[in-house]
Structure 1
Amino acid sequence: MAQLITAADQLDFGIDDIPSMPLPTKVLMVRPLHYTVDYVINPHMADQVGKVDTIQAHNEWELVRNLFDQIGIEVRIIEDQDGLPDMVFCANQSLPYIDKEGNRHAIMSIMHADQRKKEVPYIEQWYRQNGYEVHFLDENKIEDFEGCGDAIWHTGRRLLWGGYGFRSSHKAYEAICETFEVPVITLELVDESFYHLDTCFCVLDEHTALIYPDAFTEEGLNLIHNLFDEVIEASKYEAVELFACNASCPDGRNVIIQQGCTDVNKKLRDAGFAVHEVSTYEFLKSGGSVFCMKMLLW
């Protein structure tokens, strides 16, 4: 069923037609001992260089870690590296997958910014030590790809949503589609404040998504509305200032989200989700929140 889909009129299936995939049971996090804002590679980092409270950042990270533990997700930890202040955002360096036989795989990223390229080998090493088969994209053909920052699995299904336009090349999804033999639905991003798909698109369960609509083209919105029964929309304030769509819902029920997303949180509760608010203000300074700070694994 592997196919690359760019428009709604190409859809010849519904979600129930897609083979099921086990939900992740583990989460990988990178301890932020060296986290700071040392440079500007996205609009959120502007005017934030040198302004991170490192003690508060570590406290916030611990709260996120504890919430994953409380909802029953096993937390695995990698130590970060001096000189790699963004390594804590470990959604970006890879794309993991579990095949139908239960074998675990990971495609390693080609980071867009030079400042982040050295993060990838440390994540690769962890995968190798933990029994994953590691795959690489052809850097002669593909300019960039930033893992689960842009490539997001549909909850419980062998279907991938792929964002492109700022940090990941559309061509990367052709290779991923072929390697994993799954359908990939690509969504063009059009607002540089939403430079990764995970900043404006959150799959909550098989039938529900949380999005910021102005980050997408009309065709992208058509694709989203065609495959989700319910689409919750975040306001501009909560999406831009509080990264509401950078929430994480690992089990299809519990949503971990930046505190203060009043409107989105009401909509989530009305839709039957359990909402767990957490402060990630120090990480917002670098353009990331809950989803960016972890990698869900099998």
Structure 2
Amino acid sequence: MTKKQSIYTSADQLDFTISDLQAMPVPSEVLMVKPTYFDVEYVINPHMKGHVGRVDKMQAQNEWEHLADAYEEHGFRVHMLDGMRGMPDMVFCANQSLPFIDTDGTRKVIMSIMHAEQRKKEVDAIEAWYRTQDYEILHLDPEKVSDFEGMGDAIWHFRRRLLWGGYGFRSSIEAYEEVSRLLDTPVIALELVDDKFYHLDTCFCSLDEKTVLVYPDAFTNEGMKLIHALYKNVIEATSYEAEKLFAVNAACPDGKNVFIQQGCTDVNKKLRDAGFAVHEFSTYEFIKSGGSVFCMKMMLWR
């Protein structure tokens, strides 16, 4: 398609359909950071309140291993990076970067500018790993962009060169002007309005080209119009399952299999009715820190 503008903030601005967009291959690899030093040591989101020092580290390790095993069982190569002391949230490795594969096969990554001071050191640690993998490293201009939290807020449309970008709590809308320019990719910008859903990945899960799982109350009316304009099938989570069980912080790495926190009865039925295979995981220890399945991995291209 010929990109007419970079950022779309209302349905009236849309001048393309999903079929107009360039295709993009499905990632075949996964990065995960070991939870060796995972804990709740501070409060930077509403879910952390009351959980400082209350993580069962042995249980967290078990939960993490079961999820990592599932990616390997489904044919993904899993890169396991050691956690680092003093970076308890580094395990949520969806946040420090936004990787991308260009049309010529070049692998690129935009590094994040973390909103919370407590997490800024994580970016350098993740960047060091990307350098060992021959990624082209890109940085946002700190004079133009105050914060951007990678794939926590910037989510690729399945198999298409389109980014869905959340802003309002952890990423600024100005970031997407830079991201769009660096990757030559249009961005659908969605304002987030509930601080319990502070990242887009807590309330928006791209399942396949036509289907998305969302929590509607996390968005403005205009945001929901944009979602309905570009997705044929919109599955909605209840407030209980979205907030308490992080139902929408699921992952569908191949367009068929959905990895999700256990106990999401309503959402899981809707997913199965829509033809998806559902795989439940316990991530209760990580929910104490405000993250679940999606947050705990980064999808990568080879």
Band the TM-score falls in, shorter-chain normalisation: over 0.9
| 1:279-298 equivalence runs, <5 A | 279-298=282-301
Work out whether 1:19 is the aligned partner of 2:22. Answer: yes
Q: Counterpart in 2 of 1:111?
A: 114
Task: Measure the CA separation in 2 of the matches of 1:68 and 1:202.
Answer: 17
| 1:184-263 equivalence runs, <5 A | 184-263=187-266
Secondary structure in structure 2 of the residue aligned to 1:205: coil
Q: Counterpart in 2 of 1:3?
A: 6
Secondary structure in structure 1 of the residue aligned to 2:120: helix
Work out whether 1:276 is the aligned partner of 2:279. Answer: yes
Work out whether 1:130 is the aligned partner of 2:139. Answer: no
Task: Measure the CA separation in 2 of the matches of 1:215 and 1:4.
Answer: 20
Q: Counterpart in 1 of 2:85?
A: 82
Deviation at 1:21, TM superposition (A): 0.2
Q: Counterpart in 2 of 1:102?
A: 105
Look up the equivalent residue of 2:170 and give its one-letter code: R
- CA distances 1:22-68 after superposition (whole Å, capped 9, x unpaired): 00000000000000000000000000001000000000000110111
- CA distances 1:98-118 after superposition (whole Å, capped 9, x unpaired): 000000000000000000000
Secondary structure in structure 2 of the residue aligned to 1:86: coil
Task: Measure the CA separation in 1 of the matches of 2:258 and 2:71.
Answer: 10
Work out whether 1:168 is the aligned partner of 2:177. Answer: no
Deviation at 1:130, TM superposition (A): 0.2
Deviation at 1:4, TM superposition (A): 1.0
| Equivalent of residue 159 in structure 2, options 156, 159, 166 | 156
Secondary structure in structure 1 of the residue aligned to 2:240: helix
Task: Measure the CA separation in 2 of the matches of 1:190 and 1:275.
Answer: 29
TM-score (norm 2): 0.98
Name segments (4+ residues, structure 1) moved above 2 Å: none
Q: Counterpart in 2 of 1:267?
A: 270
Secondary structure in structure 1 of the residue aligned to 2:266: helix
Look up the equivalent residue of 1:242 and give its one-letter code: L
Deviation at 1:143, TM superposition (A): 0.6
Look up the equivalent residue of 2:155 and give its one-letter code: I
Gaps of 5+ in 2: none
Task: Measure the CA separation in 1 of the matches of 2:185 and 2:114.
Answer: 23
Secondary structure in structure 1 of the residue aligned to 2:248: helix
Secondary structure in structure 2 of the residue aligned to 1:126: helix
Task: Measure the CA separation in 1 of the matches of 2:76 and 2:163.
Answer: 22
| Equivalent of residue 182 in structure 1, options 173, 182, 185 | 185
Secondary structure in structure 2 of the residue aligned to 1:174: helix
| Aligned residue pair count | 298
| Equivalent of residue 40 in structure 2, options 31, 37, 43 | 37
Deviation at 1:141, TM superposition (A): 1.5
- CA distances 1:137-178 after superposition (whole Å, capped 9, x unpaired): 111221100000000000000000000000000000000111
Task: Measure the CA separation in 2 of the matches of 1:201 and 1:171.
Answer: 20
Secondary structure in structure 1 of the residue aligned to 2:235: strand
Look up the equivalent residue of 1:210 and give its one-letter code: L
- CA distances 1:76-110 after superposition (whole Å, capped 9, x unpaired): 11101001000000000000000000000000000
* 1-10 or 145-154, which deviates more: 1-10
* 231-240 or 68-77, which deviates more: 68-77
Q: Counterpart in 1 of 2:66?
A: 63
Task: Measure the CA separation in 1 of the matches of 2:7 and 2:183.
Answer: 12
Gaps of 5+ in 1: none
TM-score (norm 1): 0.99
Deviation at 1:69, TM superposition (A): 1.0
Look up the equivalent residue of 1:81 and give its one-letter code: M
Secondary structure in structure 1 of the residue aligned to 2:25: coil
Task: Measure the CA separation in 2 of the matches of 1:258 and 1:266.
Answer: 14
Task: Measure the CA separation in 1 of the matches of 2:182 and 2:174.
Answer: 13
